[in-house]
Amino acid sequence: MNSYKPQDLANIVWAYATADEQHTVLFNKIGDAIVEKDRLESFIPQNFANIVWAYAKANEHHTGLFKKISDDIVEMNRLPLLSPQDLANIAWAYAIFNCDSSLMRGTAFREELVARQNEFNTEELTQLYRWHLWQTKEQSNDGLPESLQNKCKHVFLSADTRS
């Protein structure tokens, strides 16, 4: 796995998840390979978002991987580099597995969401509302600030009535 580039690893797990193909051994090997790296500086923020999204979509939980990615985003101050889609996908993936982490506990993540609240599309606002519910109900943490929470809730409820 060490010969693969970060984009390759992200593409592999994304492809399996998108195709709804289970391959626990592969997901574990890729997760372990990423965790074993000393630093993740060769990863771009989109790699992180695609990887955690793929693990959540495929229901392949890897606690060490989620911790490593969270710690890197926090320690390397990568939040401003994440796109709105990246932020929403990361929030959703951590909520799916009930992963408490330095990223989810810190105020910086919420502050980034608020600062960029007008950049999120409908799907991303729905994902953020799911994250908010997880934060407040499962983690007993602060969720989204009220203005963003109301915006997300409105979109979430509107989406539910159409399905």
pLDDT at 1: 67
pLDDT digits (tens, 9 = 90+) for 101-160: 888 877 899 899 999 999 999 999 999 999 999 888 877 777 888 889 999 999 999 976
Tell me if 75 sits within 8 A of 43, measured CB to CB. no
pLDDT category at 100 given cuts 50, 70, 90 is: confident
Q: Report yes or no on whether pTM surpasses 0.95.
A: no
CA distance 142 to 4: 38
pLDDT at 141: 74
pLDDT above 50 (res 48):
yes
pLDDT above 50 (res 163):
no
Q: How many CA atoms lie within 13 A of 42 on its CB side?
A: 13
pLDDT above 90 (res 13):
yes
Q: Where is 140: in which H helix or E strand?
A: none
User: DSSP letters along 52-81, please?
Assistant: HHHHHHTT---HHHHHHHHHHHHHTT-GGG
pLDDT at 90: 95
pLDDT digits (tens, 9 = 90+) for 54-90: 999 999 999 999 999 999 999 999 999 999 999 999 9
CA distance 114 to 96: 21
